A and B are shown apart, each in its own frame.
Chain A
Amino acid sequence: MPEAAIAVRDLHKSYGGKPAVDGLDLVVPRGCFFGFLGPNGAGKSTTIRMLNGLIPPTSGTIELLGMRLPEQEIEIKKRIGLVPDESLLFDRLTGAEFLEFAGRMYGLARPIAIERAQSLLDLFELRETRKLIAEYSKGMRKRLAMAASLIHHPDLFLMDEPFEGVDAVGARLMKEILLDQVRRGATIFLTSHVLEVVERLCDRVGIIDKGRIVREASMQELRGGSESLEDVFVRVVGAGREFHELEWLK
């Protein structure tokens, strides 16, 4: 059996006694495009932050690419590409400067970082803009964040809502790049509220609700017959919820 890219066992994270992630068990095989879904506040972002070491878990174990976190934190980080929900871009740098900075932070020699930064700017169609990141649109910022996650050629991508605010053309470009990464053997762990995107890209999906995995399967298994991913998702996490009409809104 091939080594898992992500292996999480009995992961807990509590805030003031209230569990945000409550006994999460998850195995993501290498080379998988994994969609991590859940309603708002289900624990998706908290899980991703624990996976990339930004926050420590309350308890449980995390293994990424066969290495334990936090024991082998530095080695793991070298092989992870990260697109978090909060911006990690420095507003007072240009796109090229930021990419070069990111490359050097991940251990690339400066000339290589500069060369890769330029080619990524070309690829993500950010080359023409020499303006500071502070002046970037939301979509440009997301594209730049994704470019930065690629610069050190990582084996595992952790992406929190990478398509949020990106226009259709930019999103198409980003999807193709991600699919290319999976074809070369990289693993992608992605959260998104846009279920059509997940449906089109991912070959495996996990649904989290109230901090626990409530369904995990391949896309084919999940959809079964003619059900769309949205139907499955609503059925799994939205069952029993009723829509109450407000009198004064009628």
Chain B
Amino acid sequence: MIRAILRAQWLSMRSFRLASHRRGAVFSLATAILWYGFWTLLAFLTEEVTAQPGLHAQIADWLPIGLAAVFAYWQLAPLASASLGASLDLRKLLLYPVPRRSLFLVEVLLRITTCVEMLLLLAGAGIGLLRNPAFHAWTLFFRAPLALAAFATCNLFLAAGLRNWIERLLSRKGMREVIGLLLMLAAVTPRLLFITGAPMHRFAHLLPAGRYPLWPWGASAELLLGAHAGLNPAAGAATLCAWIALAYLFGRWQFERSLRYDLQEAQATAVTARNRSWADPLYRLPSLLLPDPLSAMVEKELRSLARTPRFRMVFVMGFSFGLAVWFPMALRGHHADSIVSGNFLAVVSVYALTLLGQVTYWNAFGFDRSAAQIYFAAPVNFTRVLAAKNIATAVFIFLEIGAVATACSLLRLGISPGRIAETFVVVAVCALYLFAIGNMSSVNYPRGMRPQRVSSGGAAGRTQGLLFLLYPIALLPVAFAYLARYAFRSQLAFDVVLACAAALGAAIYVISMESAVSSARHRREMIIAELSSGEGPLAAD
């Protein structure tokens, strides 16, 4: 049964991704090589460090902390990046007489899609410990694989449960925004504690294994290090077993609840246009400034995105991250007395711009899916289509800046109108470069996205990772402007370099637009096919 599901998924991916979208497959392969290459390198370094006999005391101290970090990444990183990985599409699979435990097993195995990098690190640490003479004992050959496998199993069960729980929470009206707020609070809390002078050392005892062996990372370290670190491996094994049982029960419970969950019902109460009629005049604003059909497309884009759960989640995350940076500084009474803090508004706004990319300009037609064919069927120039998409994204970016700047002003952070205006200009220039690349990727690598799903697949995580590597290159011309201001201590130098960056960005944008329009003309059939494509039994958009 499981093999049939996995084979169906493989055939779905193979027939579509590899046959009709070879360039996309090559791109995916390249991102996978870069992303996992980076983590393999990190795993190798971990192996080298944990194999050092002279570091055995430090390893004993830091191993539980490292495992706690792996645990945190495994459970929280998919949520923080709004990329929850592949999952079973239960709507398709519930039709068949498949035992639920088999479905749950597949769901658990799919959690590997969000944590392959952690498995690499664990393998690196395990091999390093086995090679380390300081920990050498024949029992380690049994304990190390056992401890790491048990730790991974516990994480997989827990991740499966969390994913199902969070997915249901996020599908409800208002909960997405609450989750965004909680994420912001989670990000702010350590800074708040630090800035308000809370005794941080009191929290330190939570981590070392010897003093706190009841957490999975502590128990795993106890089983791994054993008597060499003065620990009791049997107690660690027993604790880990208990954690695995708890995680299994939690995962299974949440999975069963997801099976009974009616997504359509939850969202039927969430989205009705009547509730949003107050926003109509705002959506009509583009009609006052732009000609049709450009304004019609911008208006449609604003309405659609504002009502798309996945977009709203990312938008709130961009905004809340801004506050997460600024709010602790407000409490501290910190003012713009350094290069970084003086430009925080710009930094936060550019961050919001990059974050919104995954739901806007990198894949501009993703939420339109098959409806994107109207852009090819209607009598409109495709340049205007892409321009409308970019304008709508810019409107949301500027809303983000406005929101963060307003919050800063309310908190009396001393943001001058000049600095706010500068941020708008800087973000606009950055947007030129990112939109230029985004327009190309939107027509060459389109991918249908489900608007109601707030999560995205494992591949999206890799792509995001690669994009974070590309962002510094794309934003380099703007960075030069800041460098010029720092080097020459001159606002004029900043303005001149920024103007040059803007001119270069505009030229690149125009060239890229022509190229994207040409690609769209030649690839229109492929674009529509890719955006309309069905999926296999696993949902990973």
User: Which residues from chain B contact A97 at a C-beta distance below 8 Å?
Assistant: 273, 300, 303
A105 touching B293, Cβ below 8 Å: yes
Question: B377 — which chain A residues lie within 8 A by C-beta?
Answer: 52-54, 77, 80, 82, 84, 88
Is the beta-carbon distance between B524 and A54 smaller than 8 angstroms?
A: yes
A-B Cβ contacts below 8 A, count: 105
Query: What per-residue 1/0 map shows which CB atoms of B250-274 lie under 8 Å from chain A?
Result: 0000000000000000011001111
CB-based contact A101/B525 at 8 Å: no
Q: Does A106 contact B (CB under 8 A)?
A: yes
Residues of A within 8 A of B368 (CB): 90
* Residues on A with beta carbons closer than 8 Å to the beta carbon of B371: 87-91
Please give, as numbers and ranges, the residues of chain A lying within 8 Å of B532 by CB-CB distance. Answer: 86
Band of interface residues on A: 35 or more
Write out the residue numbers on chain B whose beta carbons fall within 8 Å of the beta carbon of A84: 373, 377
Q: Tell me if B373 and A101 are in contact (CB < 8 A).
A: no
Asked if A93 and B524 make an inter-chain contact with CB atoms under 8 angstroms apart, the answer reads no
Q: Is B28 an interface residue (CB 8 A)?
A: no
Interface: B441 (CB within 8 A): no
Given A92-B367, A101-B299, verify A107-B292 contact (CB < 8 Å).
yes
Whose C-beta in chain A lies nearest to the C-beta of B274? Answer: A130
Partner of B378, one of A77, A100, A109: A77
Across the interface, name the chain B residue whose C-beta is closest to A131: B272
Q: Which residue of B lies closest to A84 (CB)?
A: B373
Chain B nearest Cβ from A100, distance in angstroms: 8
Q: How far is the CA of A82 from the CA of B378 in the complex (A)?
A: 9
Residue B374 at the chain A interface, CB threshold 8 Å = yes
Instruction: Check A193 for interface membership: any CB of B closer than 8 A.
Output: no
Residue numbers in A under 8 Å from B379 (CB-CB): 73-75, 77-78, 105-107
A155-167: contact bitstring with B at CB < 8 Å (1 yes, 0 no)?
0000000000000
Asked if B16 is an interface residue, CB under 8 A from chain A, the answer is no
Nearest-CB residue, chain B, relative to A110: B287
Across-interface contacts of B113 in A (CB, < 8 A): none
Does A182 sit at the interface, judged by CB under 8 A? no
- Which single member of B274, B292, B307, B528 contacts A92 (CB below 8 Å)? B307
A131 engages B299 (CB within 8 Å): no
The answer for the CA separation of A75 and B378 in the assembled complex, in Å, is: 10
CB distance from A115 to the nearest CB of B (A): 15
Q: Does B296 contact A (CB under 8 A)?
A: yes
For residue A104, CB closer than 8 A to chain B, the reply is yes
> Is A135 an interface position by the 8 A CB rule?
yes
| A132 CB within 8 Å of chain B | yes
B296 touches A104 (CB 8 A): yes
Enumerate chain B residues within 8 angstroms of A49, measured Cβ to Cβ: 525
1/0 per residue A41-64: CB within 8 Å of B? 000000001001111100000000
| Most-contacted residue by chain B among A73, A87, A91 (CB, 10 A) | A91
Judged by a CB distance under 8 angstroms, whether A102 is at the interface is yes
Complex CA gap A105/B379 in Å reads 7
A65 → chain B closest CB, angstroms: 13
B537 at the interface (CB under 8 A from A): no
Flag whether B376 is at the interface (Cβ < 8 A): yes
Shortest distance between the CB of A168 and any CB in chain B (Å): 25
**Most interface-central of B272, B273, B370, B524 (chain A CB within 10 A):** B273
Q: A74-B379, A78-B379 are in contact. Are A93 and B303 (CB under 8 A)?
A: yes
Judged by a CB distance under 8 angstroms, whether A134 is at the interface is yes
Query: Within the complex, which residue of A53, A100, A105, A131 is in contact with B273, where a contact is CB–CB below 8 Å?
Result: A131
| Closest beta carbon of chain B to A161's beta carbon, Å | 14
- A101 lies within 8 A of B300 (CB): yes
- The answer, yes or no, to whether B431 is at the interface (CB within 8 Å) is no
Q: Mark B509-523, 1 if CB is under 8 A from A, else 0.
A: 000000000000000
Give Cα A137 to B525, complex, Å. Answer: 27
A100→B303 CA distance, assembly (Å): 13
- Which residues of chain A have C-beta atoms less than 8 A from B525's C-beta? 49, 54-56
B341 within 8 A of A: no
Contact A53 B376 (CB under 8 A): yes
Bound-state CA distance A91–B377 (Å) is 18
A104 to B267 alpha-carbon distance, docked (Å):
29
B157-200 vs A, CB cutoff 8 Å, 1 = contact: the mask equals: 00000000000000000000000000000000000000000000
Contact across chains for B370 and A88 when beta carbons are under 8 A apart: yes
Verify if A119 is at the interface (C-beta below 8 Å from B).
no
Chain A nearest CB, measured from B442 CB (Å): 16
Given contacts A101-B300, A131-B273, A132-B273, A88 and B374 within 8 Å (CB-CB): yes
* A118 in the interface (beta carbon within 8 A): no
Across-interface contacts of B367 in A (CB, < 8 A): 92
Contact of B297 among A73, A82, A105, A132 (CB under 8 A): A105
| Residues on B facing A (Cβ under 8 Å) | 267-268, 271-274, 287, 292-293, 295-297, 299-300, 303-305, 307-308, 367-371, 373-374, 376-381, 451-452, 524-525, 528, 532
- Listed from nearest, the 9 A-B pairs whose CB atoms lie closest are A104-B296, A77-B379, A86-B370, A92-B304, A55-B525, A105-B378, A92-B307, A94-B273, A78-B379
What are 26 A-B interface contacts by the 8 Å CB criterion?
A54-B373, A54-B376, A55-B524, A55-B525, A75-B379, A84-B377, A86-B370, A86-B373, A87-B371, A88-B374, A90-B300, A90-B368, A91-B371, A92-B271, A92-B304, A92-B305, A92-B367, A93-B303, A101-B296, A102-B378, A105-B297, A106-B379, A109-B292, A110-B296, A131-B272, A132-B307
Task: For the A-B complex with A102-B378, A134-B267 known, give 19 more contacts whose Cβ atoms are closer than 8 Å.
Answer: A54-B373, A54-B524, A74-B381, A88-B373, A90-B304, A92-B303, A97-B303, A101-B296, A101-B300, A104-B296, A105-B293, A105-B297, A105-B374, A106-B379, A107-B293, A132-B271, A134-B451, A135-B268, A135-B271
